Amino acid sequence: FEITAQTASLFKTPYLNTVVSEDVDGVQYAAVLKNVYAIGTGIAHGLGYGDNFQSVFVANAAGEMKKFLRSSSSLSTPINYAASVYLGDLLVTCYSLFSRNRSFGNMIGKGYSVEAAKLAMQMVAEGYPAAKSIHELSISCAAHTPIASGIYDILWEKKDAATVFAELEKVLV
């Protein structure tokens, strides 16, 4: 732990904070999930959902992420899922107008096909392949992920985005 803390301190600057965590898998899964949820936020925007719905969507996505991380974790120590590495990264990726994943989702919500959106982006939206991986992981660890599953259904099963979001409205609290 001491070597890890020393290494982390080498990267710390007034503009960059480093944090040492034992939750290596959780941090990685959170980085993957936030891209999937950002696509969902973009889809919602493209479908014409307003800011209030998007705030409910992201709050529920944060809760779903927390449940997924708990179901996939082998750590016995409690984790602060409100930390910036989890929640902060999710928020900026979902709300930033510069987010590739949100932009990709916005195109999907406006009716672009996945292939057309990929071509129009000319950049990689990591959440697209991540949606498939998370879907498979959710099944293997028996995690209930209706939001991530809905995004998977839109992107990979070619389900209608408006229909999927109408169903998601029923489960969001």
**Would you name the residues annotated as active-site residues?**
34
From 4, 102, 22, 18, select the one nearest 110 (Cα to Cα): 102
* Residue 161 in tokens: 């985005």
User: Do residues 27 and 80 make contact, with C-beta atoms less than 8 angstroms apart?
Assistant: no
Write the DSSP assignment of 66-95 as a string of letters: HHHHHHH----S---TTSIIIIIHHHHHHH
Q: Please name which of 153, 163, 152 lies closest in space to residue 35, comparing C-alpha atoms.
A: 152
DSSP 22: S
- According to DSSP, residue 123 is labeled S
